[in-house]
Chains A and B, each alone.
With several copies, the nearest count.
Chain A
Amino acid sequence: MSDMKIDKKNYASAQEVKWCSGCGDYSVLKQAQLALADLGLRNEEVVFVSGIGCSSRFPYYMNTYGYHTMHGRAMAIATGVRTQNPELSVWVATGDGDALSIGGNHFVHAAKRNMNMVVILMDNRIYGLTKGQVSPTSDKGVITKTTPYGSIDNPLDPVKLALGAGATFVSRSTGKNQKLLRELLVKAHQHKGFSLVHILQNCLIFNDNVFDRYTDKENAEHSLILEDGKPMIFGSEMDKGIVLDGMTPKVVNVADVDPADILVHDATNEDSILPSMLSSLPLDKFPMPMGVIRQVEGECYGESMRDQQEQVTSKLGSGDLQQLLRGNNTWTVA
């Protein structure tokens, strides 16, 4: 982190922002610019890669290198950027459709490879840019332009899927919780490896208010803000907690149980089953976990590529073109 004072304006491009006014993406943009300032990154070392969608317009608004690519392919392209040059700070801006529908496989494989990049997933549970079709995170039963009688599809949870693919850093925030969001973006970048920041982002045009239960002040019952080493307590009165009953998690009144029974968050224990438990809580009965859900160490693909190159080179010597062309078996015609 540099000590010179850099503020978010330093990371804003000259381009006029073209999201609908009131769109949840504005807040993400602002926090990302602040996080870059917090991290003191040089503009030229930062690359934002995106797919297609409202959220994927993100790179245009950043005074960094940027690539607005194809629907679903941001992570595959970012993988190339980072593998070619592991010195760059690589960020992916994507949406629920972009990352989880058409781009689902690249998401899984980027996580599996532990590609060192931050994935900012702006999840509004709808296709915004194409004007309101069901998305892979949409609730069952939801009525959209393509599900006029209600969706018959189950939602996918990006956090759970990322864990299933072995992601080393998995986190979540609402778009409204600006402090948490900024903090997560900073932590995600500091983490060495694939870092998911799943953001519940409101699309006021096509899916307004879908996250109200997680963003309204009155609804503090529905969010669980995780902190490492702290018990899992939530509720407007902080009066509810989570315990494990056999192999099944339960919500209890804090007052009713031995405080020691309340589960304590630990994101960094590699073998812990807490993260997958947190990612599988049925949300009709449980709050939505927010914050860092898992953060464990792991080798990163781009870095390992470079390291292997160095090892091979130090063992075999730097390749000589003429020798390569000759190969091992030549003969001479006089």
Chain B
Amino acid sequence: MQVKESGFENVVIRFAGDSGDGMQLTGTQFAAAVAQEGNEIVTMPDFPSEIRAPAGTTAGVSGFQVNFGKSNVRTPGDFVDVLVAMNPAALKVNVAVLDKGGAIIVDTDAFNAKNLEKAGYESNPLEDGSLEDLEVYALPITSQTLEALKDSALSKKDRGRCKNFFTLGILLWLHDQEPDYSIDYIKSKFARKPDIADANITVLEEGIAYARNKGVPQAQFKLSDKRLAPGEYRNLSGNKAVALGLAAAADLIGLNLYLGSYPITPATEILQELAVLKNYGVKTFQAEDEIAGICSAIGASFAGALAVTNTSGPGMSLKSEALGLAVISELPLVVVNVQRGGPSTGLPTKTEQSDLLQAMYGRHGECPMPVVSASTPGDCFYQAIEAARLAVKYMTPVILLTDGYLGNGSEPFLVPKVDELPDLSGLKREVEPEGFSPYRRDEKTLARDWAVPGMPGMQHRIGGLEKDYVDGSVSHDPVNHEKMSLIRQEKVDRIADDIPDLEIFGDQDGGEVGIFSWGSTFGAIRGKVEKYRAEGKSISHIHFTHMNPMPKNTAEVIAKFKKVVVAEMNLGQLDQILRAKYLVDSIPLTKIQGKPFREDEIANVIDKLL
């Protein structure tokens, strides 16, 4: 963008610096400030895969992107309007995302010979003309920060650390936002260290003043056209949302929540969030590995908990065998897979949707499990509740698929009222001791009875061997095995009667093109489809949350479109399922680059079809 121009519907800002520069914090603060005013907003951190690569190198650059505006804010943004680069390495890594033109704010103090060399620059890009087409604000951020604090008693190191708030000040000025929210934040965050709080506030205000004085132009738009529905909001990442959703589900059902887990990027945060909730009756167990994680959860489920295990790709593979035990034991269990780039260790810090077929089929034997997926960070909350609902109601393990992009990304989340959440109070059926048998089933759901150790008179033995249909004892009978295999399948199939129909965003009677998608591609696809439709194109968007079973109207919806496009971040996994189930000659639209779709990538495929 040209900052001076106005009329933009949304603005994308990327904060980039060394891992130590505090850009995640600056970005989050900026995002919160603009969100306060009711803007739509989507954020996305971008961590380096090294913990803390040598300072100044490109390997150590940490980024945080914010997209905000009054409409069509559905992704962190394909291209960046304003890049904040705290050092040469940050500029180098990120300059390409500005390829539509835009503004750059750099800290000139960091553009010294040593840093330029570390970043691999032969000459100084601020001077060699290579940034010619861009609007560059080269500001001495570090030295101005120190200058502003020259009277402070803080150590030089501590003073230097304040530069991220100076930067925040510049950005607030640029977008004409008030600093109040950030000042409040600083006060509460450093409540016990008032000198640091003071320094940061000073610097923040100095940053604003400096930008004003140095004539940094102020964006002429004010992104105040409220589009968010009225209500109380908080910022929420997908991982936190999963944690909250699980805690809420346990509370709503009236069970204790038990999480058996093992750390793995990008899923660890769910464990970390739940570990804090000890006073909510939540137990978190960091196991010796992923197998012990799920096994302990199965044990806890046997003992009566709402049991959960969470992980990402490699951990999911390790859990395969135990998933089979959960299926044949018919115990409730929620398994959260925060997908990342595969195969093997793959691209651990990048996102991907390539574990769908594994979720469907990644176990030996006929081993059906319900699978649900989340579409946005906030939706993670609701799908976690949905997964728990299905698990307990149908006595089955359920896989919830999210991904790194959802897990780390965040958005404003309309805080729900507890009494507006699904009523799950009757979900856990009482077990009738009379005529008890462990595999006695509910006629409608086919769920078996859940008698828990401690309940008198209902002692029973279950296990991984095939069970007799009638009394649940071990059975090697051939016909019984077929019957049980079919009933396990049917139990999952029947869930189709208990989930919402697919919705068509667009033409209810169908039309030229229907784009089908699932998971975190939601925002990118919906945003682009909105634009197409604004142009009057016959295109609709159909987004799955329930992957297994699929909604009952799926075949019908598919049949409405002349061309069925299946968009996903893998090599065509949902596509494969739809083809097999509905014999539709669909057109895959895939990307497997560890990043969400860009609009132009969608257009590349779709434009030809319209």
Contacts and interface: CB of A to CB of B under 8 A. Distances in A.
Interface of A: 13, 15-16, 18-21, 42-47, 49, 52, 54, 59-60, 62-73, 76-85, 87-88, 101-102, 104-106, 108-109, 127-131, 133-134, 136, 145-149, 153, 205, 305, 308-309, 312-313, 315-319, 321-322, 324-327, 329-334
B235 interface: yes
A333 B453 contact: no
Q: Which secondary structure dominates where chain A touches chain B?
A: mixed
Contacts of A146: 263, 268, 271-272, 275, 284, 286
25 contacts: A13-B459, A18-B54, A42-B456, A44-B456, A54-B51, A65-B460, A68-B464, A70-B345, A73-B291, A77-B296, A80-B297, A83-B258, A83-B296, A129-B51, A131-B51, A133-B268, A146-B286, A309-B278, A309-B283, A322-B417, A324-B247, A324-B280, A325-B248, A325-B418, A327-B234
Interface in B355-401: none
A69 B295 contact: yes
Given A52-B345, A324-B277, A330 B59 contact: no
Contacts of A68: 461-465
Contacts of A60: 461, 463, 474
Interface in B284-340: 284-292, 295-305, 307, 314, 321-322, 325, 329
Contacts of A73: 291-292, 295, 322
Contact of B288 (A59, A69, A104): A104
B302 A63 contact: no
A81 B314 contact: no
A319 B279 contact: yes
A326 B463 contact: no
Contacts, number: 275
Contacts of B455: 44
B256 interface: yes
B288 A49 contact: no
B213 interface: no
Interface stretch (B124-132, B224-232, B507-515, B560-568): B224-232
Q: Which secondary structure dominates where chain B touches chain A?
A: mixed
A130 to B, nearest CB: 4
B275 A333 contact: no
B278 A308 contact: yes
A319 B281 contact: yes
A20 B234 contact: no
A47 B302 CA distance: 10
Of the candidates B272, B284, B288, B455, the one having the most CB atoms from chain A within 10 angstroms of its own CB is B288
B51 A44 contact: no
Given A71-B314, A106-B292, A129-B265, 6 more contacts: A18-B50, A73-B322, A83-B283, A133-B272, A329-B234, A331-B181
Given A69-B295, A78-B299, A13 B461 contact: yes
A54 B314 CA distance: 17
A45 B455 CA distance: 8
Given A68-B461, A69-B325, A319 B288 contact: no
A312 B276 CA distance: 9
Nearest to A106: B292
B117 interface: no
Interface stretch (B32-40, B526-534, B573-581, B601-609): B32-40
Given A309-B278, A309-B281, A324-B244, A70 B263 contact: no
Nearest to B455: A44
B32 A329 contact: yes
B295 A85 contact: no
B459 A44 contact: yes
Contact of A47 (B51, B262, B264, B453): B453
B279 A312 contact: yes
A262 B426 CA distance: 67
Interface string B3-38: 000000000000000000000000000001001101
Nearest to B315: A71
Contacts of B458: 44
Contacts of B297: 80
Nearest to B188: A328
A46 B454 CA distance: 8
A164 to B, nearest CB: 15
A13 B462 CA distance: 13
A130 B456 contact: no
Contacts of A130: 263-265, 268
Contacts of B456: 42-44
A105 B289 contact: yes
A56 to B, nearest CB: 9
Contacts of A128: 51
Given A77-B299, A80-B258, A81-B303, A106 B288 contact: yes
Contacts of A324: 244, 247-248, 277, 280
Interface residues on chain B, size class = 35 or more
B453 A317 contact: no
Interface string B229-245: 11111111000000010
A79 to B, nearest CB: 5
Contacts of A21: 52, 54-55
Contacts of A104: 288
B190 interface: no
A84 B305 contact: yes
B92 to A, nearest CB: 15
Given A52-B464, A88-B454, A130-B265, A80 B295 contact: yes
Of the candidates B36, B185, B236, the one having the most CB atoms from chain A within 10 angstroms of its own CB is B36
Contacts of B264: 130
Contact of B260 (A80, A316, A330): A80
A326 B234 contact: yes
Contacts of B599: none
Of the candidates A42, A64, A77, the one having the most CB atoms from chain B within 10 angstroms of its own CB is A77
A85 B454 contact: yes
Contacts of B344: 70
Contacts of B296: 76-77, 79-80, 83
B536 interface: no
Contacts of B50: 18-19
A111 to B, nearest CB: 11
Of the candidates B226, B235, B299, the one having the most CB atoms from chain A within 10 angstroms of its own CB is B299
4 nearest interchain CB pairs? A80-B299, A68-B463, A80-B296, A319-B280
A64 to B, nearest CB: 5
B145 to A, nearest CB: 23
Given A326-B232, A333-B228, A319 B277 contact: yes
Contacts of B302: 47, 65, 67, 77, 80-81
Interface string B162-186: 0000000000000000000100010
A216 to B, nearest CB: 22
A330 B305 contact: no
B263 A59 contact: no
B501 interface: no
